[in-house]
Structure formats: C-alpha cells, structure tokens
Structure 1
Amino acid sequence: AIRSSSLDWTIVYPVGLSNGPRTGNYRVGQRLKLSGFPVISRADVADLLLKEVDDRSHIRQGVLIAP
C-alpha cells in the first residue's frame, strides 16, 4: 500500500541488528554485495533515518543498510 501511495517514503532494510554504538560507517543502496552474516547497530540505522529526512536521496525507494 505504501509503494502505491502519493506520499514520499523510504523503506530501510537493515541487515542483522546489534545494540552497538553509532559508527557512521555503513553502506546504503538497493543492491549491496554482502558476505557472511553482517550486523549493524540500531544507532547506525537511526542515523541513516535521520539523515534521510533532510537528504531525501532515496525517496520512493527501498534500500539496504549494511556495514
């Protein structure tokens, strides 16, 4: 339903989540090469979400976030 709406949206798909600190060191994209079982902190996911509010570079996209 969200994909067909007229709203501006971004869906973020994180890899495995941890409770670690924010590092600011992560990759974002629709297609990322992953190996093993990557883990990213919830703080880094939150960092991306806050940046997307202003940046808006992934409007109407689903993106993966990974270390």
Structure 2
Amino acid sequence: MGFLRDIGLPGLLVIVVAALLIFGPQKLPEVGSSLGKMITEFKKALYGESDKDDKKSDKE
C-alpha cells in the first residue's frame, strides 16, 4: 500500500468528490459498506481464516 502514502489530502479530496459524482450521496454509504465487507472477506481468504475458526475462538 505504498502508493496510498503518496496521495495526500488534495488527492483524497479528488477521490471523494469523484465518488460522490459517480454514486451520489444516497448510494455512497451502501458502496462503502459493501467495500468494507469485501475487504474483510478478502483478508479472511488471504490468511486462510474461516467461520469455523472464528466460532471456535468465540466458544473458548
């Protein structure tokens, strides 16, 4: 994620404005939620975690 360090505040503002123009203010929270869920699932798949492992650790 080295490229994210180089964006800075102006670049981040451009990304936010572009997202607002593309998705609109009503859809933006839904898109953000979906993106967060996608990243969580990707991390689980990457590290080999499963729901079974999560349930075992919750019971202990």
Q: Same fold (TM over 0.5)?
A: no
Q: Which structure is higher in helix share?
A: 2
The structure in which a higher percent of residues are strand is 1
Q: TM-score, normalised by structure 1?
A: 0.30
TM value normalised by structure 2:
0.32
Structure of larger gyration radius: 2
